[in-house]
Amino acid sequence: MTQNDAEERSPMQGRRINLGLSLRALSVACSQAGGPISDSQLSKIERGVCVPRPSARRAITQVLGLDPVTGDEPARIGGKS
């Protein structure tokens, strides 16, 4: 993977990959978190082709640990990574 590949990822896709989750595994986890969504729908969301329903967005951000408002990774407190 090149530097450009990593830069082109959405925050959601980058976080999913960093956590080692496949689209299918994320789909299952989202369903368990109360936001059932298919892996094909998740792919479309990652690519910016569509926007998730509110329940699916809540589940995705919860499972991936993303900011529920912006969908970005939350800022780290204390400045340490």
Question: Could you give the C-alpha distances from 53 to 12, 17, 36, 79, in angstroms and in order?
Answer: 15, 22, 10, 33
| pLDDT-based confidence at residue 3 (cuts at 50, 70, 90) | very low
Instruction: Write a three-state SS string for 51-80.
Output: CCCHHHHHHHHHHHCCCCCCCCCCCCCCCC
**What's the number of domains the chain is made of?**
1
- Domain that includes residue 45, residue range: 9-64
CATH code of the domain in which 13 resides: 1.10.260
Model's pTM, two decimal places? Answer: 0.80
pLDDT digits (tens, 9 = 90+) for 29-78: 999 999 899 999 999 999 999 999 999 999 999 999 998 888 887 755 55
Question: What three-state secondary structure class fits 19?
Answer: coil
Residue 75 domain-assigned (yes or no):
no
